Amino acid sequence: MKIHRLDHVGINVEDLAAAKEFFLDLGLEMQGEMRLESELLDVVTRLKNAKTEMVMMRAPDGGATLELVTFIRPVDETGIQHPYPLANALGMRHICFAVEDIEAIVTKLKKKGVEFFSEIQYYENIYKLCYLRGPEGMIVELAEEMQ
């Protein structure tokens, strides 16, 4: 028994179109879109009468897929998660993308009004890094390996 690979990361969002646009701007590619509403979805999620829309995206070089999901029903009404958590909040906190030409990506996203935590930082001449605020408050890290 073994794990083969990380297949996908699922992120629930309210505004699926805006999240999709953000990740397309970042450079991910569409893998597919779908709507789900079935007994299987109800059983797997342990929700009653569930209905979702989702978008599957992937980096051009492949690897794990990003699954963006919006629940049409039932709507989350717990209010437990803060919509704009800080980097030290408990739970899944950020998603990191290995990128090429971080400066160009940062420039492009700044023109679109994306909020950055700081300018590009250098980690021991190994990586150029920066954190930014993605759709609905999620934290996205960009990391470019230095040659």
List pLDDT tens digits, range 42-63.
888 888 898 999 999 999 998 8
**More confident position, 2 or 20:** 20
Q: Does one domain contain both 9 and 63?
A: yes
**More confident position, 65 or 85:** 65
Q: Does one domain contain both 17 and 66?
A: yes
Domain enclosing residue 101, as ranges: 83-147
Average pLDDT over residues 68-76: 87
Q: Identify the DSSP state of 75.
A: P
The pLDDT of residue 79 is: 62
Of 38, 54, 75, the one marking the end of a domain is: 75
* Residue 35 · residue 51 · CB < 8 Å: yes
The pLDDT of residue 121 is: 95
Q: Which residues in 56-75 are b (16+ Cβ under 10 Å) and which e? A: bbbbeeeeebbbbbbbeeee
The pLDDT of residue 87 is: 66
